[in-house]
Structure 1
Amino acid sequence: MMSGLLGRRWKGYGILLFTLALGFFILTRLDRSTLQDSNRDSHKDSEQSDRHSAVKSESGEDSTPGWDLEQENPRLIERISDVILPAADPKSILKISKEIQLGQVGQIEHVVSYFKNKKGGFFLEAGAFDGEYLSNTLYLEAQFNWTGILIEPNREAFKTLITRNRKSKLLNSCLSVHRYSEEVTFDAADVVGGILGDGPDTKGWVPADKRAKYRLRCFPLYSIIMALGNPKIDFMSLDIEGVELAVLETIPWSKVDIETLLIEVEHSNSAAISSILQSHGYRIDHMFGKQDIFYVKY
């Protein structure tokens, strides 16, 4: 009697265990199938958004993972925001070695006149060098409480820039000549540094101790502006040794608000630069010889 009862009980346990095992097996298969489908969808989205990164990684041109993204990609914009250095404390003392100049040939005197001594404006200066020498924004910051962002690719110059206590954000980067982020070989030739391979080498006069070549990350100008929150830019200074036109061609002009631009045209096609800016609603306000042109929005 007891033996029969135990036998039926063990048989019942066996059926229960088999049922549980079967259920677990079915659930596992379903979860695995769902996960595979999810991974396929995620991979497809990733391929679409990072298509340029995939192509470049396979070619071996640029092995930096996760940075080669299109200029509107939110991940790129977030990462740029993370590497932008904050402005110096407003109470800190500006550290400069000489009297503040009004530009190399008086450009900033004209800018100040155009804005009628406006206070608290916002600027973007690409090619900021050490934040003092030939600066197109230092006077605006020091005399009229402007702020903005200073972009400089030369590592040694950028180290000095950090010590100046400029009341503006800082970014050690070059500007991409494409609508995506890329890594390039940068020729850090003192104040005339540039991307290696973009035109003939005209920097032979720079002493060897002030020249170096290294890999550097270039960000699209539009992505940088987005990383700042897409502010209205009262004044943009672009002095990037010959790639001004290529950078201007990457900007989706209908999505930004830039009132005036000071563009160095000495090493660029000034007619092409004027053509593209005029097509986006700008006019030539003043020409500083063959060196710079100041453009304003209609």
Structure 2
Amino acid sequence: MGAFNGQLFSNTMWLERKHNWTGLLIEANPDLCRQIDALKRHAWRLCACISNKLRKTKFIQSGAIGCIASECDNDHMKMIKSKQTISVPCFNMVEIINQIGVQHIDYFSLDVEGSEMIILESIRNELISGKIVVNIWSIEYRTWDGKKNVVKESFQKLQNLRIFFGNIGGYVEHSQLNNEHGDNRDGMALDVVFVRT
């Protein structure tokens, strides 16, 4: 989720091309959705945001760093050059996976520029009940202001993710991921990986 253009920075294209993976790409920016469509990926594509409360929301279009307007923190806003805002539809994640007929997800990549906890909270009950099963999560948590990692904010996001997965149970933190020579200490890495036990 947070598919960008379906190719650059993709966590799933290699799985699709080398291992016949199929899945669901979700991106709120309609310009990027058109780029995904042009790639003819072997995956469903949804151009929307995920919410169990909203039916539409304001989205700031800004390439790879676009975000839901109400969720863009001050650090994230420092990076955004164009503040063009559009209205995008929102769908409930449970409705979406029921529509495509998939309740067991092998890999869930969550990179939505600050809205990660909103997405997770929207499916909390389904994860606890087993209505939705996810084997592996990779979740971006680093807060970047365009020049540097905002360590305190990044660390807090990581802690929130740890609390969430601790509360729902059935997951362990596997590792943290970074760029090639990055620092994988708490608050410094790019993504955290949780694995179902």
User: Normalization by structure 1: what TM-score?
Assistant: 0.54
Count of aligned pairs: 169
Kindly indicate whether residue 155 of structure 2 is the aligned counterpart of residue 271 of structure 1: no
Paired residues of 2:72 and 2:113 also in contact (CA < 8 A): no
Q: Pick from 130, 133, 136: which aligns with 2:5? A: 130
Q: Shift in Å at residue 199 of structure 1?
A: 4.0
Which residue is equivalent to 1:296?
195
Q: Pick from 118, 128, 132: which aligns with 1:256? A: 132
Q: Pick from 30, 44, 48: which aligns with 1:155? A: 30
Q: Shift in Å at residue 217 of structure 1?
A: 0.9
In the alignment, the residues of structure 1 paired with residue 103 and residue 118 of structure 2 have an alpha-carbon distance, to the nearest angstrom, of 22
Paired residues of 2:137 and 2:194 also in contact (CA < 8 A): yes
Paired residues of 1:173 and 1:218 also in contact (CA < 8 A): yes
Which residue is equivalent to 1:17?
none
Q: Shift in Å at residue 225 of structure 1?
A: 1.6
Q: Compare the two structures and name the one with the higher strand fraction.
A: 2
Kindly indicate whether residue 39 of structure 2 is the aligned counterpart of residue 164 of structure 1: yes
Describe the SS at the equivalent of 1:263.
Answer: strand
Q: Shift in Å at residue 222 of structure 1?
A: 2.3
CA RMSD in angstroms, aligned pairs only: 1.6
Q: Give the counterpart letter for 1:203 in structure 2.
A: M
Paired residues of 2:103 and 2:133 also in contact (CA < 8 A): yes
Which residue is equivalent to 1:284?
173
Unaligned runs of 5+ in 2: 144-153, 178-183
Q: How does 1:153-232 map to 2 (within 5 A)?
A: 153-176=28-51, 179-201=52-74, 202-208=76-82, 212-232=84-104
In the alignment, the residues of structure 2 paired with residue 199 and residue 173 of structure 1 have an alpha-carbon distance, to the nearest angstrom, of 17
Q: Give the counterpart letter for 2:113 in structure 1.
A: E
Shift of the 297–170 alpha-carbon distance from structure 1 to 2, 3 Å rule, reads same
Describe the SS at the equivalent of 1:284.
Answer: strand
Paired residues of 1:190 and 1:206 also in contact (CA < 8 A): no
Paired residues of 2:110 and 2:116 also in contact (CA < 8 A): yes
Q: Cα deviations across residues 49-105 of structure 1 (Å, max 9, x unaligned)?
A: xxxxxxxxxxxxxxxxxxxxxxxxxxxxxxxxxxxxxxxxxxxxxxxxxxxxxxxxx
Q: Compare the two structures and name the one with the higher helix fraction.
A: 1
In the alignment, the residues of structure 2 paired with residue 161 and residue 246 of structure 1 have an alpha-carbon distance, to the nearest angstrom, of 24
